[in-house]
Amino acid sequence: MEKRILGIDPGLATLGFGAISCQTTQISKSGKTEGSLGVPKRSSQSPIQATPEPLQLIDFGIIQTPAKTDYGSRLCTIYEDLHTLLEHCQPDLVAIEKLFFYRMSTTISVAQARGVVVLVTAQHGVPMVEFTPGQIKQAMTGYGNADKYDVQQAVMRELNLDTIPKPDDLADALAVALTAWFHMS
């Protein structure tokens, strides 16, 4: 069964997003493992048959708002762009990074942007999950205090990318989406 997960790294100046498609397995009433079409999986596959990739990158990017624009206008831009993004990606789940307190002035603006994300997600009726930075680091690297570079390397490896996604907000959003997938598996 295909699930689409949209990961979001909230921010007022730059909001990162990354959408992935995951193949999940189901257990049938008979107790057998089934693939995405409800057909029992075989232990060996014929080399001619194609099997779906368990994980695919759908889309990624950032929503940027100009620094010299007033807060209200910046939040409106995020609101409008998120509506467009959710209509485009059609996610089954939105995963968002929980707020992390480090500088009070930055935290307030991130909280405001995060509130817009929660609102738009609810308006679209899409379920939402949240993960702390430590949970994301743990899921991506196996170590809750991993550094940013290790998480970026894990994102690159899991999605079979040639380079680390830039800017950092983009890589962080993909890490959030991947964390949601790992928690579903």
Identify whether the C-beta of residue 179 lies closer than 8 Å to the C-beta of residue 140.
Answer: yes
For the chain, the farthest-separated pair of C-alpha atoms sits apart, in whole angstroms, at 61
How far apart CA 20 and CA 54 sit, in angstroms, is 10
Task: Write out the two tokens for 157.
Answer: 């490896």
Positions annotated as catalytic residues are: 9, 97, 169
Quickly count: other Cβ atoms within 10 Å of residue 88's Cβ: 12
How far apart CA 55 and CA 24 sit, in angstroms, is 9
